[in-house]
Amino acid sequence: MKRREFTRICSTMVAAAAGVAPVAFANDKQSYKKALLFSDSNERLTAASLVVGEPYVFFYPYISTPCFLIDLGVPANRSELADNSGESYEWVGGVGPNNSIVAYSAICSHKMSHPAKEISFINYRHDPISFYSRDGKSEKRAQLISCCSERSVYDPIDGARVLGGPAPQPLAAIALEYDDTTGDLHATGSYGGDMYDRFFDKFGFRAAMEHKVNDPRQLVADKTELQKLSDYSGQTIKC
């Protein structure tokens, strides 16, 4: 049974036992604790302070699972997508004043390449890159997430849909909440097929060492630190 379905069933059972109506899971969103994004200098972060085209890294929903935050500079609209099992879901699009701010799990859906402190093979490219599409055509486009491990390419404007390479499904999308009064950004959950269990099975020990924690599966509390990918990873590979 998938995590999303299991959570939905449990929520319904708990609500029924309490005598209240069950919570609806709109757009197949998997909810986690709401976490404020703050800067690495511990200063208040706002949507307006983001550099357009600069990839940022934060950790959510677990303290060791990396995510990208990007202001694309152009609106990102709703998308209908499907995960590896064929289960469809709706990504709600970007947030912020121009609906241009998006967040995705930075764990590649092929072999779970992800940003590490030493090196990152997965990166957002605001400049044009060349790649081969799923039908073998040579393409050149800007504003894409590229994983140089096996050349999987995702479109962050379209819910991180797979454009090329062996990736079996889109990157999991991180649900964002934007406060138009303060400019604050919060992470609140995720959409689509996630790689968390596979990530912990394969990289859990290394993640615990890298983050200096006993349990890499510990959930993020009420805030999570944001920093530029170039500051987090010592080397970012471009291809």
Convert the pLDDT of each residue in 128-185 to its tens digit.
999 999 888 999 999 999 999 989 999 999 999 999 999 999 999 999 999 999 999 9
Q: Is 222 in a helix, a strand, or coil?
A: coil
pLDDT (tens digit, 9 = 90+) per residue, 23-52? Answer: 333 457 899 999 999 986 656 688 999 999
> What percentage of the chain has pLDDT greater than the value 70?
87
CATH of residue 182's domain is 2.102.10.10
Question: At 215, which amino acid appears?
Answer: D
Contact 55, 67 (CB under 8 A): no
Residue 182 dihedral angles phi and psi, to the nearest 5°: -100, -20
Number of structural domains the chain divides into: 1
Q: Is residue 10 included in any domain, yes or no?
A: no
Domain containing 90 equals 34-232
Q: Is residue 122 included in any domain, yes or no?
A: yes
* Listed residue (112, 109, 108) closest to 168, CA to CA: 109
Q: Is residue 21 included in any domain, yes or no?
A: no
Q: CA-to-CA distance for 106 and 123, rounded, in angstroms?
A: 8
Q: Is residue 198 included in any domain, yes or no?
A: yes
Given the structure tokens 């699009």, which residue do they identify? 93
> What percentage of the chain has pLDDT greater than the value 90?
79
Q: Is residue 191 included in any domain, yes or no?
A: yes
* Listed residue (53, 75, 62, 74) closest to 106, CA to CA: 62
Residue 14 — pLDDT band, cuts 50, 70, 90? very low
Q: Is residue 115 included in any domain, yes or no?
A: yes
Q: Is residue 8 included in any domain, yes or no?
A: no
Average pLDDT, rounded, for the chain: 88
Q: Is residue 95 included in any domain, yes or no?
A: yes
Q: Look at residue 98 and tell me whether its pLDDT is greater than 60.
A: yes
